[in-house]
Amino acid sequence: MRRQKKNAFWIALAAPGIIWLVLLFIVPFYAVLAIAMGKLDQLFESPVAVWNPFAWSSENVIDVSRDLVGSAAFAGPIVVRTVVYVAIASLLCLLIGYPAAYFVARFSGRRKGLFLILLIAPFWISYMMRMLAWISLLQTNGIANKALSWFGIAPVNWLGGHAATVILGLVYGYIPYLILVLYAGLDRIDPALIEAGRDLGLGRARTFVRITLPLSKQPILTALLITVLPMIGDYYTNQLLSGAASTSMIGNLIQGQLGTPGLEGQGAVLSLLLLLVLLIPMIYYVIATNRSSKAAA
Amino acid sequence: MTAPSVSEQTPPQQTQPEARTQSRWNPRNPWRHPWFLEGFTWLYLIWSLVPIAIAVLFSFNKGKSQSVWQGFSWRWYFKDPVNSVLHNPQLHAAVIQTVRLSVLTTVIAVPLGVAFALGINRWRGPIPSTFNFLMILSFVIPELIFGVAMFFVFTELFTSVHLGTTAEVLALVTWNVSWPAIIVQARLVGLGRHYEEAAADLGANRLTAMRRVMLPLLAPAIFASAVLVFSGVIDDFVIVDLLSSNSGNTPMSVIIYSTQHGGNGGPALNALGTIMLVMSFIIAIIGYIGYRFMTRGERGSRIDALTTIAGGEG
């Protein structure tokens, strides 16, 4: 009895948040499902949501599966391209971000505050502003081409649909998040362990491989997840830095379908499929976060 | 974004006395300074910050060029009677909309998230852990997938909420409520239950203990999460892009995107971006100073305050 009364207070506190999550997080995903399994109003080319699971139609799912596999599949290559771009971009993020985060966490000494401010600064600068910066640098008559012309290299139309430009944009856009998470993880490694490795006669490289790297496995995984997940849903970097169909990614496909009459239902199916694929890494992230916050307490 | 907002450790000592006797350059000195790593870090920082500095610089350019400097001017901010941020109605409205969305979202999301964190943390059972799981899930779900769900729920189910400011605020609150919920919970775990029990022993009922003891102790975490929500909304793009319906409810990020994408980019957009940047930096500085002030009696350092305000250890 007393236990119940005790709980009532906490339930009352949590209730508004729970109701909010039900109405604006769970219900919306049911709405996507109802659209995905719904029909198409042929006259108005608008989607018709089917709320009753027993009346669900597989129209949209069949359409999407035809797009993904088979002879007329135009979406298949887009999916492959997304995976390739995201893999290259996140790997580059890690290769650039790890040394920087490692240096600031371990060797920056008294200048740590300064380095951290500089590392964190991009986090506070709007993503669009950062893309804008590269657009002006990469214009045909922009600074990048001017610099190249000193070396006698002809101007390149960087913004005309180059995979390299899109990948550069993704790396530039998401690396601050990776560095921040990596820094927080690497900073927690006890320096005594690394010193012990040195004292026992390991060289710099071997200390790193045998001690630091294994200890940074968890931060690397979470940092990669925090960059890969939003990268997969990115459509704006691509649109701004290329805009060409030859570089479009899954995000562009979904966003395009939302704005096209008659294709909204397929957009719903695709975004649910994407959610399904990403659910495993997402759940992994949640569990890892829970574990490390329990360990810290 | 993993551990409690205030780390209890003092920063590790980096100086090794015996290293001073050996040269910092001697390759056989195991404690020598990693010059290569430091150089690499500086190169990264230059690559990451110089493009933005150039973009800010060219927002003050007298002419239209984004690569040739033609002299300093405030033309693109307020001097130009047609194309400046002040006089172009679209750009002007975008600044106001961004501020409006940030204020409304912060005012709703922070109390909602704090109450959620307190309730979920103390209420035991499968229901609270399920919803806590859901809350963290909403933190990592790709924004496009979330945005698609929001788009459909407001166009097909809650149709009385038309696309526009109301829909934007509702979606932004849902997207950002996880900041206070996660950060306050981390702080609660760090605090333990002693303070509450002491208050109860001294005769405080639960509401009084909450108001007089817990809320002051949680104030730094609540403040940090408010800063993160506010700046998160300034920077948000996907949700507002999918849910805005006309230029009256389109914030700065979307205007920059759609104008640039439509081929009408120019220094006025750089000016708009610079205004966003200044807004975010002001919030960051207020956040840093405020957080330092609130945690002045604690063992946390400057560094902790910096990473907390950036959401690094939320």
When CB atoms are compared, the residue of B119, B186, B303 closest to A293 is: B186
Contact at CB, B116 and A13, closer than 8 angstroms: yes
pLDDT in tens, B234-272: 999 999 999 999 888 999 999 999 999 887 778 899 999
Q: Is residue B111 part of a domain?
A: yes
In chain A, the residue whose alpha carbon lies closest to the alpha carbon of B130 is: A18
Encoded tokens for A238: 């691509």
Say what the pLDDT of residue B31 is. Answer: 66
Burial profile A69-78: b = 16 or more Cβ within 10 angstroms, e = fewer: eeeeeebeeb
Domain co-membership, A46 together with A145: no
Could you give the CA distance from residue A207 to residue A200 in angstroms, rounded to a whole number?
Answer: 10
Encoded tokens for B84: 């400046």
Encoded tokens for A40: 């198409």
Query: Which CATH number characterizes residue B139's domain?
Result: 1.10.3720.10
Say what the pLDDT of residue A199 is. Answer: 81
Q: Is residue B272 part of a domain?
A: yes
List the one residue out of A192, A175, A181, A199 whose CA is nearest residue A95: A175
Domain co-membership, A237 together with A282: no
Contact at CB, A17 and B153, closer than 8 angstroms: no
Domain co-membership, A62 together with A79: no
The CA distance from B234 to the nearest CA of chain A, in Å, is: 8
Could you give the CA distance from residue A230 to residue A91 in angstroms, rounded to a whole number?
Answer: 15
Q: Is residue A254 part of a domain?
A: no
When CB atoms are compared, the residue of B66, B119, B280 closest to A14 is: B119
> Which residues have CB under 8 Å from A31's CB, separation 6+?
A49, B149, B152, B153, B156, B157
The CA distance from B215 to the nearest CA of chain A, in Å, is: 13
Q: Does A8 contact chain B (CB < 8 Å)? A: no
Report residues of chain A scoring pLDDT below 70. Answer: 1-6, 292-297
User: Which B positions 210-269 lie with beta carbon below 8 A of chain A?
Assistant: 231, 234-235, 237-238, 241-242, 252-253, 256-257, 260-261, 265, 269
> Which residues have CB under 8 Å from B145's CB, separation 6+?
A233, A271, A274, A275, A278
Using DSSP's 3-state secondary structure scheme, residue B76 falls into helix
Q: How many CB pairs under 8 A join A and B?
A: 313
Contact at CB, A180 and B115, closer than 8 angstroms: no
Could you give the CA distance from residue B154 to residue A111 in angstroms, rounded to a whole number?
Answer: 49
Q: What's at A86, amino acid-wise?
A: V
Domain co-membership, A82 together with A30: no
The CA distance from B257 to the nearest CA of chain A, in Å, is: 7
Contact at CB, B54 and A133, closer than 8 angstroms: yes
DSSP codes, A43-99: TTTEEE----GGG---HHHHHHHHHHSSTT-SHHHHHHHHHHHHHHHHHHHHHHHHH
Domain co-membership, A239 together with A159: yes
- Which residue has better confidence, B149 or A295? B149
Could you give the CA distance from residue B203 to residue B7 in angstroms, rounded to a whole number?
Answer: 31
Contact at CB, B242 and A258, closer than 8 angstroms: yes
Q: Is residue A253 part of a domain?
A: no
Span B32-41, average pLDDT: 88
Say what the pLDDT of residue B75 is. Answer: 86
Domain co-membership, A113 together with A56: no
Q: What does DSSP assign to residue A246?
A: G
Q: Does B20 contact chain A (CB < 8 Å)? A: no
Question: Does residue A264 contact residue A197 with C-beta atoms inside 8 Å?
Answer: no
In chain B, the residue whose alpha carbon lies closest to the alpha carbon of A179 is: B312
Q: What percent of chain B has pLDDT over 90?
A: 49
Say what the pLDDT of residue B2 is. Answer: 43
ipTM for the assembly = 0.91
- For strand A46-48 and strand A39-41, is the pairing parallel, antiparallel, or unpaired? antiparallel
Q: Is residue B83 part of a domain?
A: yes
Domain count across chain B: 1
Contact at CB, A258 and B148, closer than 8 angstroms: yes
What residue numbers bound the domain in which A227 lies?
74-248
Residue B287 scores a pLDDT above 50? yes
Say what the pLDDT of residue A74 is. Answer: 86
Residues of A in contact with B303 (CB under 8 A): 112-113, 116
List the one residue out of A13, A293, A286, A297 whose CA is nearest residue B122: A13
What residue numbers bound the domain in which B78 lies?
17-33+74-309
SS3 percent helix, strand, coil of chain A, rounded to 5, is: 75, 0, 20
Q: Is residue B53 part of a domain?
A: no
C-alpha distance across the termini of chain A, in Å: 31
Alpha helix stretches (DSSP H) within B141-266 = 143-152, 165-176, 178-191, 194-201, 206-208, 215-235, 238-243, 252-261
Encoded tokens for B309: 């305000």
Crossing angle of helices A127-138 and A143-150, rounded to 10°: 40
Say what the pLDDT of residue B28 is. Answer: 62
Domain count across chain A: 2
Beta bridge partners of A140: none
Domain co-membership, A143 together with A224: yes
Using DSSP's 3-state secondary structure scheme, residue A106 falls into helix
Q: Does B115 contact chain A (CB < 8 Å)? A: yes
Span B201-211, average pLDDT: 85
Q: Find the angle CA(B289)-CA(B291)-CA(B297) to the nearest 5 degrees.
A: 105
Domain co-membership, A37 together with A91: no
Q: Does A287 contact chain B (CB < 8 Å)? A: no
Say how many residues make up chain B: 314
Could you give the CA distance from residue B250 to residue B90 in angstroms, rounded to a whole number?
Answer: 9
Domain co-membership, A237 together with A289: no
When CB atoms are compared, the residue of B131, B252, B313 closest to A18 is: B131
Could you give the CA distance from residue A91 to residue A97 in angstroms, rounded to a whole number?
Answer: 10
Tokens 């596999």 locate to A69
Count of C-beta atoms within a 10 Å radius of residue A181: 26
Residues of A in contact with B66 (CB under 8 A): 136, 139, 142
Query: Which CATH number characterizes residue A203's domain?
Result: 1.10.3720.10
Domain co-membership, A102 together with A242: yes
Contact at CB, A136 and B281, closer than 8 angstroms: no
Run of H or E including A40? strand A39-41
Tokens 């007089």 locate to B212
DSSP codes, B159-187: TTS-TTHHHHHHHHHHHHTHHHHHHHHHH
List the one residue out of B281, B93, B254, B87 whose CA is nearest residue A131: B254
Encoded tokens for A22: 């039900």
Q: Is residue B66 part of a domain?
A: no
